[in-house]
Amino acid sequence: MESIVVLDTSVLLDFLAGRNKSVVSKVEQLLFEAKAAVSVVSVFELLRGVESQKHIEQRKELIGLCTILDLTQPISQHAAGMYTYLKKNGTLIHMEDILIAATAMHWHYSVMTLNSKDFSRIPGVKLE
């Protein structure tokens, strides 16, 4: 692996749950090599609605091992264009996924997701 990979929330949740051995292995490798990044959107998704202090701490620890990618005005503008394109073509996906994809594309990073069906609707996004 040569560059940073943006981990989608679906991957982070599977990693935390240990559901998929190949996901766990890949994420562990990215963390070990300091090549894992998350969008602030995934930080929100990981922590929203979580009441267990143990789970909050586990999620914060995982987040802390990743490079955090902020949402900026250029990224927001790119995401708005993506939204318009997807809506016009009748292929709209969740806003969070659009923001994560726009963030990855801004930095020229690929996205690791378990939701490639939706992410693949976005022209130009690189998927792991």
Checking if the pLDDT of 20 tops 80, the result is yes
Residues 6+ away with beta carbon under 8 Å from 57: none
Checking if the pLDDT of 74 tops 80, the result is yes
**pLDDT in the model for residue 2:** 59
| Overall fold of domain 5-117 | Rossmann fold (3.40.50)
CA distances from 124 to 11, 33, 41, 73, 121 (A): 20, 25, 20, 19, 9
Residue from 83, 105, 103 nearest 39 by CA: 103
pTM: 0.93
Range 51-63 average pLDDT: 96
* 3-class secondary structure, 110: strand
**pLDDT in the model for residue 1:** 41
Crossing angle of helices 95-107/40-47, nearest 10°? 150
The DSSP symbol for 51 reads -
Whose structure tokens read 């559901």?
19
